[in-house]
Chain A
Amino acid sequence: MFAYIIKRLLWLIPVVIGVSLILFGIMQLVPGNPAAIMLGTNVTPEAIAALNEKFGFNEPFHIRYFLMLKNFLTGELDSIYYGDQVINIIGRRLTATIELGLLSLIIAVLVAIPTGVIAAVKKNSLFDLMSMFIATIGISVPAFFTGIIFIYIFSVYFPILPSSGYGGRIWTLSGLRHLILPAFALSTVMIASTSRITRSSMLDTMKEDYLVTARSKGVAEKIIILKHAFRNALIPIITNIGNQLAMMFGGAILIESVFAWPGVGRLAVKAVESRDQPLVFGSILILSILFVLVNLLVDVIYVFINPRISYK
């Protein structure tokens, strides 16, 4: 199993190189001279030439790519709009994004899995029908619309929670109060899809023969459901959580914009708006690496939960 994890870690290297190459390649599609774009209007040709020299815009593709990567990692790559080092700007905002993502992931798991399990155990009950009806609608609601509705209900109609902004770190009361609405809004899509999968996966495993055996042995129903059925149902659930992560990362960008959350996602959007190519490159690269790391984590959890498959 450790060999598998190490293999996955090594796979990270080509992925990061590939992702940065793709992003760099896309940036080359920008029409016009990058130095002229960076400096804006009213510049002398000398200034453009100096910038060309500094960033190596006249070099061939692969050299420019390595220069960009090197500059990004050593912090020499400056944002056009903020006039600061790209890596610093991103670093300052990374914690806010991670807080938001982690809390919504925890909320999603804590809400979706019990809901799905109860819905499966009490199949066709009112709880089952209601929760699955809501979940079916839930997967079709755009995350930003959920956010807008939450703001309307909890900040405008019943003004109990702040509608936007960052209140401080997660362990402070103000920080948590600011975090609740965006985190819940971000988790809705995952709650909806995970609870549906949990239910169907539980229903599948509850048909298995070994549950009948366990029942006939006189094992308590609670243990049958939690230990025998749920543990085996977990594999498709984890797979689905992994698949949903891409949607969640996308949702995070939107949610950060709705709630004016100072995270990397909103930074990326701002960078695209202000045509700040170095910042677009940096913020999307960092978010993609984060995404790859979380996916890796899901895969590792998968190995721990599913001992039947050996990974070589």
Chain B
Amino acid sequence: MKKKFILFILLLIQLYINYKNWFIESKIWSSLEYKFATVFSIILIFVLLLLLVKKSIFIKLRENALYAKMFKEFNKGYGGKIAVIILALIFYAAFMAPFIAPYSPTEIDYSNMTYSAPSLEHWFGTDDFGRDMFSRVLYGARIALGVGFAAVLVNASLGVSLGLLAGYYGGKVDMIIMRLVEIWNSIPFILLALAIISALGTGIFNIIIAVGVTGLINFSRLTRSVVFQIKEKEYVSAAKALGASDLRILYNHILPNSISSLIVLSTLRIGISILVVAGLSFLGLGIQPPTAAWGTMLNRGQEYLIQAPWMSVFPGLAIIITVLSFNLLGDALRDALDPRQLD
């Protein structure tokens, strides 16, 4: 009963936010960020309604033996649960930023173009252009998550393909690929990203590429070791005997077996990617102002550290909390999914 009550309150809040934005401020479909927010809130309302009215759909999921075991392991520690709640909030902030942010993140307040301390009007204070820090931190979540996820996606697809090739074919192919990856890895990853940015220039797309192609070694080593374990199993030989092609074996037998380790590694890599992107933006070589990114805000904030410490503290805390949540989630998932495969 208590759970239903909380769900009901959440639904009411969500409906109120949508009512206010859709009907009073008519922010529905006029720009890309509104489209995202609208679609996200419709899905959210739908899920909340389902949870309230027809919970049985979700119970079926829980009855699945595999999920049940995972849930049980996952629920053992507090870290994972806390991380899930915080990450849900951060995701919510990222998608709903245009609906819940009290001010525009980039609009300069010409009547008050100076920093001001946190107050009731501006919860996190304002920066040196009079822009609301709370709105900027909210909008920063979408950059951090978006770039983080995209970079890890690039990273994983490259690393996994290399690892699959090296592990499956073995021998000389394995040696050549792994040596090349090792050499690639002997450039510390921020430096490699710097070199790529110096060639391609700054901008979100280039950052994703730069961060995505560094640190391939983690994914390729992991995939390679899983492939080595599975390659010798009977069902792979059976599939081979039946005439399955190499590609088919890789994607139908070997990839599904390595997916749980990959999820754990990806979760941990997202945290690292967010840190690297923040670092690059802090150096002024990542995401460029006026886009509200946490690293960029810290870069600006350092200049005003003495007069306006809130300009540094809040974006910094946002980075720490996000990365910490991804790390905690990764640790909890590792315990739940595969206690032995990762070190």
Interface, chain A (partner B; CB < 8 A):
14-15, 18-19, 22-23, 26-30, 136-137, 139-145, 148-149, 151-152, 156, 236, 245-246, 249-250, 253-254, 257-258, 268-269, 271-273, 275, 277, 280, 284, 287-288, 291-292, 295
Contacts and interface: CB of A to CB of B under 8 A. Distances in A.
Contacts of B200: 29
B194 A254 contact: no
A273 B285 contact: yes
B191 A295 contact: no
B319 interface: yes
A250 B191 contact: yes
Given A148-B298, A258-B302, A272-B198, A250 B276 contact: yes
What are the 10 closest A-B residue pairs judged by CB atoms, nearest first?
Answer: A250-B190, A18-B183, A249-B188, A140-B324, A140-B323, A29-B199, A272-B198, A145-B316, A288-B187, A246-B188
A250 B195 contact: no
A58 B186 CA distance: 30
A141 B321 CA distance: 9
Contacts of A250: 188-191, 276, 279
B273 interface: no
Q: Is the interface of B mostly helix, strand, loop or mixed?
A: helix
A280 B198 contact: yes
Contact of B298 (A145, A246, A275, A287): A145
A280 B187 CA distance: 13
A19 B328 CA distance: 34
A269 B194 contact: yes
Nearest to A17: B183
B206 to A, nearest CB: 10
24 contacts: A15-B182, A19-B187, A22-B187, A22-B192, A23-B195, A140-B275, A140-B324, A142-B316, A145-B316, A148-B312, A151-B305, A245-B188, A246-B185, A246-B188, A249-B188, A249-B191, A253-B279, A254-B283, A258-B302, A272-B197, A275-B198, A284-B192, A288-B191, A291-B187
Looking at A22, A142, A295, which has the most chain B CB atoms within 10 Å of its CB? A142
Contacts of A139: 327
B309 A27 contact: no
Nearest to B325: A140
A185 to B, nearest CB: 13
Contact of B188 (A152, A280, A288): A288
Contacts of B182: 15
Given A151-B305, A249-B190, A250-B190, A140 B320 contact: yes
B198 A277 contact: yes
Nearest to B199: A29
Contact of B284 (A253, A273, A284): A273
B216 to A, nearest CB: 12
A210 B343 CA distance: 23
B186 A280 contact: no
Contact of B302 (A28, A148, A236, A280): A148
A19 B186 contact: yes
Contacts of B184: 18, 22
Contacts of A292: 186
B62 to A, nearest CB: 29
Nearest to B301: A148
Nearest to A239: B343
A51 to B, nearest CB: 19
Contact of B327 (A136, A149, A277, A295): A136
Contacts of A136: 324, 327-328
Given A29-B200, A246-B188, A250-B189, A268 B312 contact: no
Contact of B183 (A15, A28, A137): A15
B278 interface: yes
Contacts of B282: 142, 144, 254, 257
B177 interface: no
A27 B18 CA distance: 49
B319 A145 contact: yes
Contact of A272 (B186, B285, B301): B285
Determine which residue in A254, A271, A291 has the highest number of CB atoms from chain B within 10 A of its CB, and name it: A254
Contact of B190 (A30, A140, A141, A253): A253
B148 interface: no
A142 B318 CA distance: 11
Given A26-B196, A140-B324, A144-B279, 8 more contacts: A19-B186, A23-B195, A30-B199, A137-B320, A141-B323, A142-B323, A280-B195, A291-B187
A156 B302 contact: no
Contacts of A145: 298, 312, 316, 319-320
Nearest to B343: A236
Interface string B214-226: 0000000000000
B298 to A, nearest CB: 7
A137 B324 contact: yes
B140 interface: no
B191 A268 contact: yes
B191 A141 contact: no
B242 interface: no
Contacts of B312: 145, 148, 152
